[in-house]
Structure 1
Amino acid sequence: MTTFDYGPIEFYAIGFDGDKPGPEVLQAVDDLVAAGTVNVLDLIFVARSAEGELSMMELSDTIESASAPALDLAGLASEEDIEELAAGLEPGTSAAILVVELLWAKAFAGALWQAGGTVLSRTSIPAPIVNAYLSEYND
């Protein structure tokens, strides 16, 4: 079986009201890392001021390393990536740009590659939509 150094990665832009997310967001990310589900490659916080100005802060530049998840490839998200992901931010809001390696899919990706397979399409359905649908469906 083919062994990759990294599994598939995903970029997320997670929006928040106000200028920053609460501490529970970092805790949730840290829990995913501790469980071996993901490897955090990069994490950037962005905020759009009331005047429309976009500011960016790399996690590794803002938080003591003991209280934050370790970043394996800090700087992986380019400024262009960040600006594109933050393009829809309204004034007075913020976002976390999270780049994660999907550790659970690493071996699967190697097996697919070895078999000559490739993922042709992937669709993500947000948890609130899944839960609302299943709640209605199961009633």
Structure 2
Amino acid sequence: MGPIDYLVVEFPGNRMTGEGLPLLVDLVDRGVIRILDLQFVRKDEDGSVSGLEITDLDGDGRLDLAVFEGVSSGLLGQDDLEEAAGALEPNTSAGILIYENVWAAPFAAALRRGGGRLVASGRIPVSDLVSALEAAEATQ
């Protein structure tokens, strides 16, 4: 199995357009990731949180998330939804995604067969990367 990651993506003003969904489907279709859980929540102006049903996000008459309907591994629990909602601003919606990096599984297995051990891993936030690149460019 590959590494498991999660994302919580906030949409201010509860305006989800569904624009990223075809790209998410493409990642799944190409075997890059496997979606384990996908849920949506809304945080109202008063701070109350509720789940959102899979709907027609872009208004074209088709369910944008029908391909992901019922996707649930059980990893994402109520406490996780509440924690994610705590990070949201009032009057927003969010998508919460847990996914496996399928691409990494064969690579990791090959490293283990060769005697390799993972001793560290992490993620560099894009904003930090952009800042570092801009700083390096400014010194040149």
TM-score range for the pair, normalised by the shorter chain length:
0.7 to 0.9
Q: CA deviation at 1:113?
A: 4.8
What's the CA shift string for 1:88-108, capped at 9, x where partnerless?
Answer: 212112221111110111113
2:59 is aligned to none
Q: CA deviation at 1:50?
A: 0.2
Q: CA deviation at 1:126?
A: 2.3
8 Å Cα contact 1:47-1:55 kept in structure 2: yes
1:56 is aligned to 51
Q: CA deviation at 1:46?
A: 1.3
Please provide the CA RMSD for this pair.
Answer: 2.8
Distance in structure 1 (CA, Å) of the matches to 2:82 and 2:72: 17
Distance in structure 1 (CA, Å) of the matches to 2:112 and 2:70: 24
| Structure of greater Rg | 2
1:83 is aligned to 82
Equivalenced residue count is 130
Distance in structure 1 (CA, Å) of the matches to 2:71 and 2:17: 24
1:103 is aligned to 102
Instruction: Normalising by structure 2, report the TM-score.
Output: 0.73
Specify every segment of 5 or more residues in structure 2 that has no aligned partner in the other structure, as ranges: 57-61
1:44 aligns with 2:39: yes
**1:53/1:27 Cα in 2 relative to 1: closer, same or farther (>3 Å)?**
same
1:12 aligns with 2:46: no
Percent of aligned pairs with the same amino acid: 32
SS in 2 for 1:52: coil
Instruction: Normalising by structure 1, report the TM-score.
Output: 0.74
1:74 aligns with 2:72: yes
1:21 is aligned to 16
Q: Which stretch of the first structure deviates more once superposed, 29-38 or 93-102?
A: 29-38
**1:66/1:108 Cα in 2 relative to 1: closer, same or farther (>3 Å)?**
farther
